[in-house]
């Protein structure tokens, strides 16, 4: 909504207006591009009058009779380039929108450039948009994509980090969270664990919100903005948690569609990139594989199939694709028959309806083909790496169930998984076990991991982390979550479908709350629990900040935002969504400083 308002020259767009939109040019930097691309397609931009969208630092020609909307970060080089545009008289008028608040000195630089270029009247509006975060779903956001290594798990947990570096990281995170709440139009009640990076974020965010509320003239939480968000009646709860409370979940092999796509494919800002080989090419020199085609697919809110199945077990999703294909085939055959009859009987009404429903049918076919390709690529990984075996084994480890095969056998099996899969499995075992393995056992495991080609650096980190965490608290429990094999799907799967499922277990998930979800449940429902009883409580609306863990608000919350400092993943997001489905009238949003899959995470530890 905020982006659409900005693209409409900061005026709310009028619904059902039949007139032509004002044609304009959109100029953004990489940060702006990352914020816009998951939310607005090129078609939607065109519908809003954007004929051209260009990067700020690209070579741009002058278009003197068109207004330009800028959407950029207020950095030194961006400001210099904007001043250059003013001097070169590139556009008819300039609407300058900054992703984050611009400082007074930089604003003066633009003003001086405008005076020097005699373009003061052409600068129509200058706005701080407070949009420094990326929305990936209606209920999920991530802080940044550019320079994400600056706020990564490794950056926050580096042993040699200085106080000033830590302050800078915390300020970056707080700036984005502040933008998030300005856009939401709500002042949260903040809860956080003690002695972690999450606590530093909470203290700084509380201070920043408090200062803004005190400045009555310039407060961003008064008048129009308040109540404009989705939280208009009751204030939301913000739960700040540290990644270190649960390191096993980001390493876990998963079994839901969206999380699997993110784990095994190149899935980034709602776009998945696939390499498709096109079979063999015959040539005099004999057969040689054709070069691989790279294809990109957008998996967005407008994709109904994705929205319906992304949180489901991958098998249920594949059955749905097969049924959709079957249904579309029968529809197509009936359509042809009826088309022929209607032409014979000159029944034009049926022909008209067939033509009018054609775009919808074509779109359905496009989505089915898209998900067939994506699901086939995912299945290929499951089969070659035996990910079903890993998933089941890890679930048993995390739920303390009995194991049917020794861990050493799993690591030593040359056919099961990549070295990274083996490392992930062992780290989950190491993190989840109440008692660390003895030195003799550990040496055996290390030897097996080295023989399997694993890099032992992550194990050394987790070893130190565990020793430190042991001093702080007991290991996190993951509940009892043993997946159940299912018979029906195997029959559907192995009857001539293109998804060759032989040898893959059909596992159906049992709903179980992960640590982050349990913490949210305790704080949202006001339950007393040793895990969360000493969480700090901040209310930025209170005149004096108090350091207490005693909540003043005794009623359960209807809305909550969970934010993970140090990075999050789709497994946790899906677990929260499944949890809140069972709570009528309640909403939860999930945010994280960066979104990583296990491969990206293991490189950081």
pLDDT of 367 over the 70 cut? yes
Strands 587-592 vs 266-268: parallel, antiparallel or unpaired: unpaired
> Could you give the 3-state DSSP secondary structure of residue 587?
strand
Residue 32: predicted pLDDT: 96
Residue 124: predicted pLDDT: 93
Rounded to whole angstroms, how far apart are CA atoms 409 and 155? 35
Rounded to whole angstroms, how far apart are CA atoms 97 and 125? 8
* Structural domain for 392, as ranges: 388-472
Strands 280-281 vs 288-289: parallel, antiparallel or unpaired: antiparallel
Rounded to whole angstroms, how far apart are CA atoms 380 and 384? 6
Query: Residue 96 — very low, low, confident or very high, per pLDDT cuts 50/70/90?
Result: very high
Alpha carbon of 524 to those of 140, 190, 528, 555, 558: distances in Å? 18, 11, 11, 9, 8
Q: Do 541 and 594 lie in a common domain?
A: yes
Per-residue pLDDT reduced to its tens digit, 17-75 = 667 888 999 999 999 999 999 999 999 999 999 999 999 999 999 999 999 999 999 99
Given 90, 114, 130, the domain boundary residue is 130
- When computed from its CA atoms, the radius of gyration of the chain, rounded to whole angstroms, is 27
Rounded to whole angstroms, how far apart are CA atoms 575 and 141? 16
Rounded to whole angstroms, how far apart are CA atoms 32 and 84? 19
Place of tokens 């969360």: 532
Q: Do 8 and 117 lie in a common domain?
A: yes
Per-residue pLDDT reduced to its tens digit, 244-266 = 999 999 999 998 999 999 999 99
Is position 162 within any domain? yes
Residue 506: predicted pLDDT: 58
Per-residue pLDDT reduced to its tens digit, 379-426 = 899 999 999 899 999 988 888 888 888 899 999 988 888 999 999 999
pLDDT of 499 over the 60 cut? no
Contact 31, 175 (CB under 8 A): no
CB hemisphere CA count around 128 (13 angstroms): 16
Q: Do 118 and 201 lie in a common domain?
A: no
pLDDT of 122 over the 90 cut? yes
Is position 163 within any domain? yes
Q: Do 165 and 212 lie in a common domain?
A: yes
Rounded to whole angstroms, how far apart are CA atoms 29 and 56? 5
Give 599's contacts (C-beta < 8 A, 6+ positions apart). Answer: 263, 420
For residue 555, the 8-state DSSP code is S
Given 100, 130, 160, the domain boundary residue is 130
Per-residue pLDDT reduced to its tens digit, 503-550 = 566 555 567 889 999 999 999 999 988 888 889 999 998 866 666 656
> Once rounded to an integer, what is the mean pLDDT over residues 329-338?
50
The H or E element containing residue 267 is strand 266-268
DSSP symbols for 126-192: EEE----SEEEETTEEES-STTGGGGSHHHHH-TT--HHHHHHHHHHHHHHHHHHHHHHT-PPEEEE
Is position 30 within any domain? yes
Q: Do 125 and 2 lie in a common domain?
A: yes
Mean pLDDT of the chain: 84
Closest to 592 measured CA to CA, from 35, 176, 274: 176
Is position 139 within any domain? yes
Query: Residue 146 — very low, low, confident or very high, per pLDDT cuts 50/70/90?
Result: confident
Is position 299 within any domain? no
Which span out of 305-319, 547-561, 588-602 was modeled with the highest average pLDDT? 588-602
pLDDT of 484 over the 60 cut? no
Q: Do 137 and 125 lie in a common domain?
A: no
Task: Using CB atoms within 10 Å of the CB of residue 213, give its burial: 0 to 12 exposed, 13 to 18 middle, 19+ buried.
Answer: middle
- What would you measure as the largest C-alpha separation in the chain, in angstroms? 85
Q: Do 178 and 118 lie in a common domain?
A: no
CATH number at residue 589: 3.40.50.1910
Q: Do 6 and 124 lie in a common domain?
A: yes
Place of tokens 């739920």: 399
Q: Do 217 and 145 lie in a common domain?
A: yes
Place of tokens 């609306």: 541
Rounded to whole angstroms, how far apart are CA atoms 516 and 407? 27
CATH number at residue 103: 3.40.50.2060
Is position 258 within any domain? no
Q: Do 171 and 57 lie in a common domain?
A: no
Given 73, 108, 130, the domain boundary residue is 130
User: Dihedral angle at the C-alpha atoms of 376, 379, 380, 386, nearest 10 degrees?
Assistant: 180
The tokens describing 588, both together, are 């939860």
> Once rounded to an integer, what is the mean pLDDT over residues 543-571?
82
The tokens describing 471, both together, are 């001093």
DSSP symbols for 284-308: TT--EEPPPEEEEEE--TT-HHHHH
> Once rounded to an integer, what is the mean pLDDT over residues 476-483?
57
The tokens describing 535, both together, are 């969480």
Residue 90 main-chain phi, psi, to 5 deg:
-70, -35
Q: Do 463 and 542 lie in a common domain?
A: no
Strands 237-242 vs 189-192: parallel, antiparallel or unpaired: parallel
The tokens describing 202, both together, are 């909470």
Contact 261, 272 (CB under 8 A): yes
Is position 142 within any domain? yes
Rounded to whole angstroms, how far apart are CA atoms 332 and 335? 5
> Once rounded to an integer, what is the mean pLDDT over residues 570-596?
94
Is position 353 within any domain? no
Full-model pTM: 0.88
Rounded to whole angstroms, how far apart are CA atoms 597 and 85? 40
pLDDT of 301 over the 60 cut? yes
pLDDT of 360 over the 70 cut? yes
Residue 147: predicted pLDDT: 84
> Could you give the 3-state DSSP secondary structure of residue 538?
strand
The tokens describing 159, both together, are 């042993």
Q: Do 108 and 171 lie in a common domain?
A: no
Per-residue pLDDT reduced to its tens digit, 424-434 = 999 999 998 88
Q: Which residues pair with 128 in a beta bridge?
A: 98
Handedness of CA 45, 46, 48, 52 (dihedral sign): positive
**Counted domains in the chain:** 3
């Amino acid at each position: 909504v905020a982006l659409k308002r900005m693209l409409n020259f900061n005026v709310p767009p009028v619904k059902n207006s039949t007139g032509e939109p004002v044609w304009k040019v959109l100029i953004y930097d990489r940060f702006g591009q990352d914020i816009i691309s998951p939310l607005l397609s090129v078609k939607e931009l065109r519908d809003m009058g954007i004929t051209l969208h260009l990067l700020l630092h690209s070579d741009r020609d002058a278009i003197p009779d068109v207004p330009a909307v800028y959407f950029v970060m207020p950095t030194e080089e961006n400001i210099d380039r904007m001043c250059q545009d003013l001097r070169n008289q590139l556009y008819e008028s300039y609407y300058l929108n900054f992703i984050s608040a611009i400082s007074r000195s930089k604003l003066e630089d633009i003003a001086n450039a405008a005076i020097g270029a005699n373009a003061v009247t052409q600068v129509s509006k200058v706005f701080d948009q407070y949009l420094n975060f990326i929305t990936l779903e209606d209920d999920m956001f991530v802080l940044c994509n550019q320079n994400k290594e600056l706020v990564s798990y490794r950056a926050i947990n580096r042993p040699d980090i200085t106080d000033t570096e830590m302050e800078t990281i915390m300020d970056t995170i707080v700036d984005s969270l502040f933008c998030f709440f300005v856009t939401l139009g709500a002042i949260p009640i903040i809860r956080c664990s003690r002695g972690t990076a999450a606590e530093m974020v909470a203290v700084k965010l509380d201070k920043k919100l408090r200062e803004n509320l005190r400045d009555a003239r310039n407060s961003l939480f008064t008048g129009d903005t308040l109540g404009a968000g989705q939280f208009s009646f009751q204030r939301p709860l913000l739960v700040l948690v540290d990644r270190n409370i649960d390191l096993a979940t980001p390493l876990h092999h998963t079994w839901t569609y969206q999380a699997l796509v993110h784990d095994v494919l190149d899935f980034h800002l709602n776009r998945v990139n696939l390499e498709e080989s096109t079979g063999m090419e015959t040539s005099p020199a004999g057969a040689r594989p054709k070069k691989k085609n790279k294809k990109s697919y957008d998996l967005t809110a407008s994709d109904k199939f994705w929205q319906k199945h992304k949180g489901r077990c991958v098998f249920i999703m594949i059955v749905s694709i097969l049924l959709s294909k079957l249904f579309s085939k029968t529809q197509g055959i009936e359509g042809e028959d009826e088309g022929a009859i209607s032409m014979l009987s000159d029944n034009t009404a049926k022909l008209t309806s067939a033509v009018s429903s054609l775009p919808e049918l074509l779109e359905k076919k496009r989505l089915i083909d898209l998900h067939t390709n994506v699901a086939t690529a995912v299945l290929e990984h499951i089969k070659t790496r035996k990910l079903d075996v890993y998933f089941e084994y890890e679930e048993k480890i995390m739920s303390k169930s009995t194991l049917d095969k020794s861990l050493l056998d799993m690591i030593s099996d040359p056919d099961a998984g990549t070295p990274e899969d083996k490392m992930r499995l062992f780290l989950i075992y190491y993190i989840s076990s109440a008692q660390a393995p003895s030195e003799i056992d550990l040496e055996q495991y290390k030897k097996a991991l080295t023989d399997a080609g694993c890099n032992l650096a992550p194990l050394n980190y987790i070893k130190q982390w565990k020793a430190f965490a042991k001093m702080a608290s007991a290991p996190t429990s993951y509940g009892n979550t043993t997946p159940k094999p299912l018979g029906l799907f195997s029959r559907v799967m192995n009857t001539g479908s293109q998804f060759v499922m032989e040898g893959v277990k059909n596992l159906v998930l049992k709903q179980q709350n992960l640590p982050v979800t349990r913490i949210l449940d305790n704080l949202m429902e006001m339950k007393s629990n040793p895990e969360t009883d000493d969480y700090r409580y901040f209310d930025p609306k209170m005149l004096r900040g108090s350091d207490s863990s005693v909540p003043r608000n005794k009623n359960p919350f209807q809305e909550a935002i969970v934010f993970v400092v140090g990075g999050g993943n789709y497994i946790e997001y899906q677990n929260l969504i499944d949890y809140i489905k069972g709570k009528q009238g309640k909403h939860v949003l999930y945010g994280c400083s960066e979104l990583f899959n296990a491969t990206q995470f293991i490189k950081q530890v």
